Structure 1
Amino acid sequence: EDESEEEPKLKYERLSNGVTEILQKDAASCMTVHEKFLALGTHYGKVYLLDVQGNITQKFDVSPVKINQISLDESGEHMGVCSEDGKVQVFGLYSAEEFHETFDCPIKIIAVHPQFVRSHFKQFVTGGKKLLLYERGWMNRWKPSVLHEGEGNIRNIKWRGHLIAWANNMGVKILDMISKQRITNVPRDDISLRPDMYPCSLCWKDNLTLIIGWGNSVKICSVKERHASEMRDLPNRYVEIVFQFDTEFYVSGLAPLCDQLVILSYVKEISEKTEVECCARPRLDIVQPLPESCEEISSDALTVRGFQENECRDYHLEYSEGESLFYIISPRDVVVAKERDQDDHIDWLLEKKKYEEALMAAEISQKTIKKHKILDIGLAYINHLMEKGEYDLAARKCQKILGKNTELWEFEVYKFKEIGQLKAISPYLPRRDPVLKPLIYEMVLHEFLESDYEGFATLIKEWPGDLYNNTIIVQAVVDHLKKDPQNRTLLRTLAELYTYDQRYGRALEIYLTLRHKDVFQLIHKHNLFSSIRDKIVLLMDFDSEKAVDMLLDNEDKISIDRVVEELENRPELQHVYLHKLFKRDHHKGQRYHEKQISLYAEYDRPNLLPFLRDSTHCPLEKALEICQQRNFVEETVYLLSRMGNSRSALKMIMEELQDVDKAIEFAKEQDDGELWEDLILYSIDKPPFITGLLNNIGTHVDPILLIHRIKEGMEIPNLRDSLVKILQDYNLQILLREGCKKILVADSLSLLKKMHRTQMKGVLVDEENICESCLSPILPSDASKSFSVVVFHCRHMFHRECLPVSNTVSSVQFCNICSAKHRGPGSAVLEMKK
């Protein structure tokens, strides 16, 4: 079938059981549907009550000829039947109530009041040449009245609420039973069609919406209330056609489906063999009404029995409102159409091999589907993908579909093995909750080991070591290494396997051989310091920086002495270790400082001078000897100066380095007048040196000492600029001194004013204060007596009479307590008298 075919909206099945038996001997002429049962009329005058499965529950012999119509009230307790021989019967299915009448013409249609079960609604209408209304009145007598006549046979009646719609040869009328007024007349469109061969189809969608199908025309009519101002002599209701459209074929039946329509169509086509018009299979269409057209939603051709001999009038469409069930009735067949549910939708998707969509639909509707299981759909999907050769996608789907079902997982893995696709499923095998049998994982690992070392290594790295038997896999790797001993991938993987198996020593050996970056992590993680005591050189060769950091961080596990001893034959590595040790702590490796002098001199001269400056444990004589042997001038100068031989150091700078700037800098550091004198003497016959001295000596030595010694006539480069700089430096010194003097004077004055303000403040004297001499309260108990108190700025207080008489010329007195310590600010007197 075409893959792009749209999914049908309805599903179909034949009504079987008792119906099959009936239609083998008889032919269906009409049927009425109730939510509890079905009523089927036949050409031989029988009426059968059926359950929804088609089983016969009751049989009535009504007439020897064709049953034209069966009508049921809403309760399903009363039934009306009319036949081709003019008989009309209305009776209770569960009561003795009954009406019989025989007319002199065929009665084509009957409709009982929807509320016939209620006593004041005992009404029904019949249609033959006249439209008759029967009402039960006084003494239970039935009174007929003519509602309409003169326009040919009445061929269809539908009663809903208070409205009766009927169709005759001229058109469709609607009667309001409340007002007993006819409120509309809808004429038929195509008068060329015989009304007995192409009968009108009527259907009430609700109490106010009537659907009319006649020929190939469909109208949807709405009954509306007329405004009081428009009534005059008109009925209080009117009908408006809200939708109208033509169909491709002839309408045999109508039914509502939400806001859509279900249309049963009679189809004629030209035979390819005889080129004569013949009957084709009837169609059941679902359409969406539009104001002047319709949109086809779905269309199905139905293979009913005997469709080749059927006419338009032989088909009927009945429906059950509550369940969306549609019954297609033909003389030899009754077909039931149902709305498709999710199970049907999934069936269709599976039939079209749309497994992904089917799986999604099942997951969304897993609470409502009854026929399908998500797992079964998923397994079918996996099989389908494997048949198509999409092994990776099939393996990926296993994760979601198989979930935690270990048996299914193992079954699927073996299926992948059978087709040689274990590699495809390996990334998706569960590793935790659930865990499969070790054999499954080992089988996959062996597959990779035979053909893909890199893939094997990846799995070993990703899979936890407890998924498989580690010993078996180790042995398999060892066997492969016998064929290829230098294979780095296998060696690296074997090291990881040894690590999982806690054989860290073997793993470490392999990592060191491979110079693998994880070697340090392995040592730290598993505390393998005892295993690396004799492998320090290997570690240093691999990554000296990481190795040294690790060794220094773990001095308690591998001592400094052990490391130095191991590196004895590799002095360059020994230097790296001792240098970093010294940078961390200047004192820890002090016993090796003498050795480090030679190591720095040999491998790292730039750090020799900083080492000599920072170390307090290296022997200076040994260092001087090495530096002099190697002609390390800067280091020798430093050592000479440190040993107190500054003049030799200065001489070496001047003679060896010929660098006046360094000589001046050295003299500044030593701050020794004799050095400056030596420097001047050495430079006096060297004009470039004199220039350097003139530019830098001004702040440390009087430049006159140098200038007086310059020989007359000597050409000195940039002499003018040097003299200008000396004068500028001198002026700058004068300015700085004056500035400092001003700052000192300003600060002194500010502090003096502050002290004066402080001394001018009053001092609180109260009853709690005492005389520092007699220790009595400073204030007398009798305030009326005169007294004299002396208060000093140091806050010591005395009675006047308790102070000794001063022998000094000045009358200023000082605090005895403070004067005993020192005479200073605050000891002067502040006298208070009363």
Structure 2
Amino acid sequence: EDESEEEPKLKYERLSNGVTEILQKDAASCMTVHEKFLALGTHYGKVYLLDVQGNITQKFDVSPVKINQISLDESGEHMGVCSEDGKVQVFGLYSAEEFHETFDCPIKIVAVHPHFVRSHFKQFVTGGKKLLLYERGWMNRWKPSVLHEGEGNIRNVKWRGHLIAWANNMGVKILDMISKQRITNVPRDDISLRPDMYPCSLCWKDNLTLIIGWGNSVKICSVKERHASEMRDLPNRYVEIVFQFDTEFYISGLAPLCDQLVILSYVKEISEKTEVECCARPRLDIVQPLPESCEEISSDALTVRGFQENECRDYHLEYSEGESLFYIISPRDVVEALMAAEISQKTIKKHKILDIGLAYINHLVEKGDYDLAARKCQKILGKNTDLWEFEVYKFKEIGQLKAISRYLPRRDPVLKPLIYEMVLHEFLESDYEGFATLIKEWPGDLYNNTIIVQAVVDHLKKDPQNRTLLQTLAELYTYDQRYGRALEIYLTLRHKDVFQLIHKHNLFSSIKDKIVLLMDFDSEKAVDMLLDNEDKISIDRVVEELENRPELQHVYLHKLFKRDHHKGQRYHEKQISLYAEYDRPNLLPFLRDSTHCPLEKALEICQQRNFVEETVYLLSRMGNSRSALKMIMEELQDVDKAIEFAKEQDDGELWEDLILYSIDKPPFITGLLNNIGTHVDPILLIHRIKEGMEIPNLRDSLVKILQDYNLQILLREGCKKILVADSLSLLKKMHRTQMKGVLVDEENICESCLSPILPSDAAKSFNVVVFHCRHMFHKECLPVSNTVSPVQFCNICSAKHRGPGSTILEMKK
């Protein structure tokens, strides 16, 4: 009797749809599995949330570099992420709760408490060079504490119940969070393997059973209670290794399967062509553990994309608890492995297994387990649209459309638009937040956008201020390319994305009559946007729109003036009043920098408002320095400012006015004595001081005047010495230069007759005069001196007023 061919234990299928798109541009680095969804991390720092069919439901830009690990709590509502650049983030997927930290080394692991959703379990661990526990305490502050350090980088961590297991370069440790005691240390077997190339794999089979795979060694450890009589100073728990065996290949990942193990192995083989060791296809084995060995149940070689370039650390094995469903993750592929017994068509006909599946769904519905029934629809109904639509209607009849909504296919296959519209209407009637979430997650082409928009508008008639509905309506309008209407809603809601929407869709023509709304929402961003796009919305239009809101008009014109002093020159007169009313500190800088504001108008406004400093500046700019000085003295009564003003103007009459005004005011005299020494002779002031007048600090002021005078004398003497020394040095240099010899040859010419200075006939006599300035003449070409002095001077230098050069050489023959 022929033996029937042994059936495969597992059936494999690539995770496609959104995963295919991701891995065309990026590479997978890690993944974690929840019963509701999958979370995939990539080498470019992205984290994607996927449904079980591989469709992208959400995307997070966490980091520009590789994501090392993702952790989820049991509820699937909180996620922890760490990356190669030292960033750690823990945040709520459906709440605003968030924690950020950046370390100075790559962070390889993160694990949130399994019950993180509960307020008294707000804990997570993270590890680079040391293992840190973060706990949220008083005032919602996160407090870190070191659990372990000093044994190299933390390579892996798994948190189950009250037990945390982690691996570093030396081995695996387990910490009991109740007693805060470490209860075991399982050393690494093969220390020759690099821990970064052959990382440790950890997984909890249950709350007390840890499975360790490292190199080619597997250990199954059981956490047990220590008997009271044995405790003494020991932890109340200990670990016993119940199974231990070696595998043929290096372990990349492992997972429990009832009482068996699923092991993902990294394989190397000798190439027949090159006889060089190379990477082979990875293997997925099911083994039965024995006390000191194992029995192989099945073994499959997997043809994953790019296996020839992958290393042991590039593969990961994840699994869905409670289901015989495993995921093999490699940089370019994610493969789903399912127990063949569930889907094999060799023993059960296709319609038979479908009937069983449908019966199972019905059974779950009857039990009231609607979420699990809906989740099973994905696996059982597959791409059968008719069955999908039938099940959706069945869920509608029992009022559980919400339960199946998250599992509806969104791409390959796509159901009729009516199905999606029916679900959206169900949410719209009872759950605005859920409705908004579906609109964000579902592609807009799944349903008739016009129908949904009208339904939302009808609901807004009953509740016109509902922010959730308004924001969702704006998103629907945006998808429908009705950007103007979306913009109105975003402005009403003061939504942060309003400026991004305007830029992205070039909506400047739509905001010309909404400038006040934009400015009220965020004046700084609005002004920057308006000034950056002057070609689309003119300055005149903006000023006109803001006419009834002068405070906003000022903000705009002030920013315009800061950018360019000349662009808004026609509004400078208006700006004087705006600065005076809303921004006096910037009025004086504006008056100083503007060359277009009318000074008379500015003076009138400043005098009406009694703006002394501004009035002083305007008076001095208009040439009325004496009135400006008088205002400083009478209004401000600030001698220092008066002195500074007089110094700036450098006018003797002003100093005279200042002295006259101050002569009967002792404090002013003190200020003048201390400051005018460099501009006015202090004697002029001292002679005018009335005899017997008490002047504060007079002695000190006189001493200072004398010291200043002595200092000036010393400075002048020092400058004189420097000038004399420099002059002498330059004179000596000039003398040395002029005493050097001068070459006279046939190429030189007489500066007077312009003929060669030397005769062509060497036998002929000649008489040549050469000056220090290097000009040369025939003796007979020089004019006869009218003076008695025999010294001759160069005609050319004398004519150019450069100081005549005297004779330095006379040549005769």
| TM-score (normalizing by structure 1) | 0.51
Q: 2:473 aligns to what SS in structure 1?
A: helix
Encode CA deviations 1:167-222: one digit per residue, 9 max, x unaligned. 99999999999999999999999999999999999999999999999999999999
SS in 1 for 2:694: coil
Aligned to 1:218, the other structure's residue is in SS state strand
Distance 1:2 1:123, change over 3 A: farther
CA gap of 1:419–1:749, structure 2 versus 1, over 3 A, is farther
Equivalent position SS for 2:386: helix
Which consecutive residues of structure 1, in runs of 5 or more, have no partner in the other structure? 338-358
Deviation track 1:230-249 (CA, whole Å, cap 9, x = no partner) reads: 99999999999999999999
Retained in 1: the 8 A contact 2:527–2:556?
A: yes
Alpha-carbon separation, structure 2, partners of 1:806 and 1:621: 68
**2:309 matched residue in structure 1:** 309
Written as runs of structure 1 = structure 2, the 5 A alignment for 1:677-692 is: 677-692=656-671
Q: Which moves more between the two structures, 197-206 or 423-432?
A: 197-206
Tell me how far 1:542 sits from its aligned partner: 1.9
1:453-502 deviations in whole A, cap 9, x for unaligned? 23433443455544443212212221222332211111011112112222
Alignment CA distance shift 1:766-1:573 (3 Å): same
Shift in alpha-carbon separation, 1:622–1:105, aligned structure 2, 3 A: closer
Per the alignment, residue 362 of structure 1 pairs with 341
Deviates more, 1:441-450 or 1:539-548: 441-450
- Contact kept, 8 Å, 1:362 with 1:373, in 2: the verdict is no
Deviations along 1:365-399, whole A, 9 cap, x unmatched? 99999999999999999999999999989999999
- Which deviates further from its counterpart, 466-475 or 687-696? 466-475
Once the two structures are superposed, the pairs formed by residues 256-655 of structure 1 within 5 Å of their partners are 359=338, 438=417, 441-442=420-421, 445-655=424-634
* TM-superposition CA deviations, 1:310-338 (whole Å, max 9, x none): 9999999999999999999999999999x
Residues 760 and 537 of structure 1, relative CA distance in 2, 3 Å threshold: same
* Distance in 1 separating the partners of 2:293 and 2:226: 27
User: C-alpha deviations, 1:535-578, integer Å up to 9, x for none?
Assistant: 22222222222222223333333333332222222222222222
On the 8 A contact 1:819/1:827 being kept in 2, the answer is no
What is the distance in 2 between the residues matched to 1:678 and 1:434?
95
Cα pair 1:470 1:501 within 8 Å, conserved = yes
State the structure with more CA Rg. Answer: 1
Cα deviation for residue 43 of structure 1 reads 71
Q: CA deviation at 1:686?
A: 1.5
1:630-687 Cα distance to aligned partner (Å, 9 max, x none):
2222222222222332222222222222222222222222222222222222222221
Residue 709 of structure 1, CA deviation: 1.7
Judge conservation of contact 2:8–2:340 (CA < 8 Å) in 1: no
Higher mean alpha-carbon deviation, 563-572 vs 18-27, is at: 18-27
Counterparts in 2 of 1:100 and 1:616: CA distance versus 1, 3 Å: closer
Residue 11 to residue 494, structure 1, CA distance change in 2 (3 Å): closer
Structure 1 CA distance for aligned equivalents of residues 272 and 616 of structure 2: 122
Counterparts in 2 of 1:26 and 1:617: CA distance versus 1, 3 Å: closer
Q: Which moved more, 1:754-763 or 1:301-310?
A: 301-310
* Aligned counterparts of 1:648 and 1:105: Cα–Cα separation in 2: 68
What's the counterpart of residue 352 of structure 1? Answer: none
Which stretch of the first structure deviates more once superposed, 401-410 or 234-243? 234-243
Give yes or no for contact 2:324–2:339 (8 Å, CA) kept in 1: no
TM-aligned CA distance change 1:411 to 1:593, over 3 Å: same
CA 1:306 to 1:502, structure 2 compared with 1: closer, same or farther past 3 Å? Answer: closer
Kindly tell me the number of residue pairs found equivalent between the two proteins: 813
Corresponding residue SS for 1:428: coil
Instruction: Report Cα offsets for 1:498-530 as digits up to 9, x if no partner.
Output: 122222221222122222222222223333333
**Alignment gaps of 5+ in structure 2:** none
Q: Is the 1:362–1:369 Cα contact (8 Å) retained in structure 2?
A: no
In structure 2, relative to structure 1, the CA distance for the partners of 1:61 and 1:471 (3 Å cut) is closer
Gap change, CA 1:418 and 1:810, over 3 Å in 2: farther
State which drifts further: 290-299 or 747-756. Answer: 290-299
Structure 2 CA distance for partners of 1:610 and 1:260, relative to 1, 3 Å:
closer
How far off is 1:266 after superposition?
40
CA distance in 2, matches of 1:510, 1:361: 53
Cα pair 2:51 2:407 within 8 Å, conserved: no
Check the 8 A contact 2:243/2:289 in 1, yes or no: yes
Contact 2:491 2:498 in 1 (8 A): yes
CA spacing shift, 1:419–1:809, aligned 2, 3 Å: farther
Please tell me whether the aligned partners of residues 759 and 826 of structure 1 are also in contact (alpha carbons under 8 angstroms).
no
Residues 405 and 56 (structure 1), Cα distance of their counterparts in 2 relative to 1, 3 Å cut: closer
Q: Is the 8 A contact 1:133 1:147 kept in 2?
A: yes
Distance 1:306 1:658 in 2: 85
**Cα deviation digits, residues 730-774 of structure 1 (max 9, x gap):** 222222222322332333333334433443445555655544444
Residue 360 of structure 1, CA deviation: 9.0
1:86 to 1:381, Cα distance in 2 relative to 1, 3 A: closer
Please say which of residues 181-190 and 380-389 is displaced more in the overlay: 181-190
Q: Which moved more, 1:290-299 or 1:55-64?
A: 55-64
How far does residue 76 in structure 1 lie from its aligned partner after superposition? 65
For residues 613 and 124 of structure 1, the distance between their equivalents in structure 2, rounded to whole angstroms, comes to 59
Relative distance call for 1:420 and 1:52 in structure 2 (3 A) is closer
> Residues 580 and 376 of structure 1: is their aligned pair in 2 closer, same or farther, counting only changes over 3 Å?
farther
CA contact (8 A) 2:114 2:160 kept: yes
Residues 182 and 381 of structure 1, relative CA distance in 2, 3 Å threshold: closer
Q: Answer yes or no: is the 8 Å Cα contact 1:219–1:244 preserved in 2.
A: yes
CA RMSD of aligned residues (A): 31.7
- 1:715 shift after superposition: 1.6
**8 A contact 2:174–2:183 mirrored in 1:** yes
Which residue is 1:222 aligned to? 222
Query: Equivalents in 2 of 1:328, 1:321: separation in Å?
Result: 15
Structure 2 vs 1, CA of residues 473 and 80 (structure 1 numbering), >3 Å: closer, same or farther?
Answer: closer
Deviates more, 1:391-400 or 1:478-487: 391-400
> In the alignment, is the contact (CA less than 8 A) between 1:814 and 1:829 conserved in 2?
no
Mark the CA change 1:622 to 1:64 in structure 2 (over 3 Å): closer, same or farther.
Answer: closer
Aligned to 1:82: 82
Distance 1:454 1:756, change over 3 A: farther
In structure 1, what is the Cα distance between the partners aligned to 2:65 and 2:495?
102
Deviation of 1:586 (Å): 2.6
Provide closer, same or farther for how the CA distance between residues 802 and 491 of structure 1 changes in structure 2, counting only shifts above 3 A: same
Q: Offset at 1:64?
A: 86
| Cα distance between partner residues in 1 of 2:141 and 2:554 | 131
Quick one: structure 1 residues 200 and 772, their matched pair in 2 at CA, closer, same or farther if it must change by over 3 Å? closer
CA distance in 2, matches of 1:87, 1:727: 67
The answer to whether the 8 A contact 1:431-1:463 is kept is yes
Change in Cα spacing, 1:413 to 1:43, as seen in structure 2 (3 Å) is closer
Provide the C-alpha distance between the structure 2 equivalents of 1:61 and 1:600, rounded to a whole number of angstroms.
44
Taking a change above 3 Å as real, the CA distance of residues 127 and 548 of structure 1, as seen in their structure-2 partners, is: closer
* Secondary structure of the corresponding residue to residue 705 of structure 1: helix
CA contact (8 A) 2:453 2:476 kept: yes
Contact 1:244-1:291 at 8 Å conserved across structures:
yes
- Gap change, CA 1:649 and 1:763, over 3 Å in 2: same
Q: 1:602 to 1:412 in 2, by over 3 A?
A: same
1:159 is paired with a residue whose SS is strand
2:42 equivalent to 1:42? yes
C-alpha contact (below 8 Å) 1:327/1:334 kept by paired residues: yes
